[in-house]
Structure formats: C-alpha cells, structure tokens
Amino acid sequence: MPLALLNTYLGLGKTSVAKPQPDAHRRVRCVVAACCAAAGILFSVGTYAEPIAYTAVDDKLARLDLSNGQLFPIGEFGSIGNTPFLDVEGMAFDSKATLYAVSDLTETLMRLQISSGEAQAIGGIFGLGLQNEGTGGVFNQLDFGLTFTCDDTLWLSSDSVGKLWRVDRGDGSTEFIGETGVSISGLAAYGDTLFGIGVGDDEGLYHIDTETGLASLIGRLQLGYSFYDAGLGFDGDGNLWAVLDFNPPPAGQPQVERVSEIVQINVDTGLASSPVPVQGDDSIEIETLAIAPTVCPNGPADPPIEVTTVGVPALALLMLLLAGFGAILVGRRL
C-alpha cells in the first residue's frame, strides 16, 4: 500500500489536523515494512505437505490436495533416451525428503525434482531387472507400489504378479523377498511396519511381513464397490490416505470413465472414510501417492518439504490486520 494512501487511511493526510511528527511517519513505515516482511516469510517458509500429496498425471508430476481432490500439475518427467517416462507409479519420500518413483513402462527407478517434475533415471531402462516378471505383452504391466521404512529400506510391490522386492536405490536393482499372496497395489510404512492396499477381489488394508512378503488382512475398506489400482501413504501426523483408481478394469469387466477418489483409512480396522473425488484435468487413473517421509515414532523429526500453502486472500487479510494494528498504535501516539 503506498505511503500517501496509508496516511490518508490513518487520517494523517487531512488538512484539519496538525502535521504529524516524524516519529509518526516512522511508525507508518514500520507498519508497511511489517506487512511486506510477513508476506515474504509466508511465501518462503517450508512446511509439510499435508494435506498436499504428490502424484502422477500422465507424463507429469502433480500436487494433489487431499482435502478437496484438486490437482495441480507441476511438470513433465521427461524421458530416458527416446523413451518417455509413462505410467509412473509407486512414489515415496526417503528420510531426507527426496522423492522417488518407478515407471511401469520402462521399469526404472527414478528420483524426482518436486519443483519441476523432472526425473533422473537410476539404473537405466529395465534397471529393476523385472522384465520377465510382468504380465507379458507390450507393456509387461506390473502396477507397482513403493515406500521406505524408517531404516531407509526401499520396498517395491506388484499387484499383477503378487510379489514384494527390496530395492537398491543406488543402482535401481531389486532383490526378491516373497509372494504377497494377494494383489497389493500401493505400499506405505509407519516406522518399520509395512502396509499395503489390496485391489480387485483382494480389496482391503494389509500388513506385510518384510521377511517373507506375505500379506495379512487387517480389514476391508467397506466402500461397496471395486477399484483396480491404488496409491497409499501416511502423512506426517500418522494418518493413512489412499487414492483409488477404477481404470482400466480387469479383462472382461466393462470400461467405466470414473474419476479417481481419495479416502482416509483406519489403520486398525481398514475402514475407509467417505471418498473425495479427484478434480481437474486428467483426473482418471490417479494411482500413486506420496505425502511425507515415513513417520519414525522414536526417530528424529522429519525434514520439511518445501510447499507453498498460503494463498493471496490469506496474505491480504494478514496485511489488513497488520495495517489496522499499526493504525491503532499510531493513533494512540498522535
């Protein structure tokens, strides 16, 4: 706000009053400076992403507001050679808030820049070493889930073949752990406890044994309908979230152009909250979720994820409040 306009607002520009003293002008300038400083601080401060998550929309990284389902595209993943990173799944933050993901098309582990979406391949095309593990055909579909446990071990699951692997994030290679016994589409961890979300006929929340890979049912989501892919993730407060995808359906099932949905899941019972539809362009086939580094109950505090969460209306309101407070102070001194 220009100083002359603020003077008028505070009554300092009226001809019927004595010329204000220099210290009054200094107080006005302090009010303006305080407003500007507050705006700068709010725009630059780093904060945890809840209820903001990261997900994939076609060939782009996007933010997803878990409270209302709104999508905010960030940027393209890019490619490895002439092969684009498509069907990106299984996103997860490590303990230092670095975002990882896997591409089902190239079967590649990637590090992602959360500011631009750009992907850095780890290990090259088919670097996971799973090209003979999938469903065959052109895409060799595996439908991955990905998460870190508190010891920074990276875990990978496949719902199409029902298997669990440990991943070397240095070279992107995998070590087979065992069969899950069910179709686990998304992974999440709390401490060193591994959870998975089952899809199709195996719908539900599961605990996964990291020694054997075997999944044990905790409970059904009880939504009354089926979904065929899903992403899973804990926020920094230990709340469990999932994003549910309905496309494409299994062979023999009708294609339904249904937008993806967000739910919270009770970690003790598996019961899901009322779903929130994903909104925005390309809101179909949202099937991965990364919110915050894995919560470590007995470990150090998680590092911040840089996400701007303060909007212009909030800033304007704060500036008006500061200006009003300054006006009161100046009025008392004049």
Query: Do 38 and 58 fall within a single domain?
Result: no
Residue 38 pLDDT level (bands cut at 50, 70, 90): very low
> What is the model's pLDDT at position 6?
39
> What is the model's pLDDT at position 9?
38
Say yes or no to pLDDT of 33 above 70. Answer: no
- What is the mean pLDDT of the segment spanning 84-97? 91
51 upstream amide cis, omega within 30 of 0: yes
Say yes or no to pLDDT of 290 above 70. Answer: yes
> What is the model's pLDDT at position 3?
41
User: Which burial class, exposed, middle or buried, applies to 114 when counting CB atoms under 10 A from its CB (0-12, 13-18, 19+)?
Assistant: buried
- Number of domains composing the chain: 2
Query: Do 317 and 236 fall within a single domain?
Result: no
> What is the model's pLDDT at position 141?
75
- The span from the CA of 102 to the CA of 183, in Å, is 18
- What is the mean pLDDT of the segment spanning 179-189? 97
* Distinct helix (H) and strand (E) counts, the chain: 3, 21
* More confidently predicted of 227 and 1: 227
Beta bridge partners, 299, equal none
In a domain, 237, yes or no: yes
In a domain, 265, yes or no: yes
Say yes or no to pLDDT of 31 above 50. Answer: no
**Predicted model pTM:** 0.75
- What is the mean pLDDT of the segment spanning 98-117? 93
Say yes or no to pLDDT of 26 above 60. Answer: no
Say yes or no to pLDDT of 257 above 50. Answer: yes
Query: Do 227 and 322 fall within a single domain?
Result: no
Query: Do 19 and 131 fall within a single domain?
Result: no
- Of 226, 236, 225, give the one whose Cα is nearest residue 188: 236
Task: State which residues form the domain around 193.
Answer: 52-277
Query: Do 112 and 40 fall within a single domain?
Result: no
Residue 49 pLDDT level (bands cut at 50, 70, 90): very low
Query: Do 77 and 139 fall within a single domain?
Result: yes
What tens digit of pLDDT does each residue of 201-220 get? 999 999 999 999 999 999 99
Query: Do 226 and 326 fall within a single domain?
Result: no
> What is the model's pLDDT at position 319?
52
* Number of Cα atoms under 13 Å in the Cβ half of residue 48: 18
Q: Please report, rounded to a whole number, the percentage of residues in the chain having pLDDT higher than 70.
A: 72
Say yes or no to pLDDT of 48 above 60. Answer: no
Say yes or no to pLDDT of 191 above 60. Answer: yes
